[in-house]
């Protein structure tokens, strides 16, 4: 399913992007 594939790529991208952020910034992003 293309939608699931896109969601998986976005989720991986979010994790990789999250690694470059501090814990406080990461929490702020996930709260929104």
Residue 8 has a pLDDT of 84
Supply the pLDDT for residue 16: 64
pLDDT in tens, 2-32: 888 878 877 777 766 666 666 666 666 666 5
Q: How far apart are CA 29 and CA 12, in angstroms?
A: 15
pTM above 0.85?
no
Q: Which residues contact 29 (CB under 8 A, 6 or more apart)?
A: 18, 21
């Amino acid at each position: 399913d293309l939608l699931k594939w896109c969601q998986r790529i976005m989720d991986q991208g979010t994790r990789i992007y999250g690694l470059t952020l501090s814990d406080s910034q990461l929490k702020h992003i996930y709260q929104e």
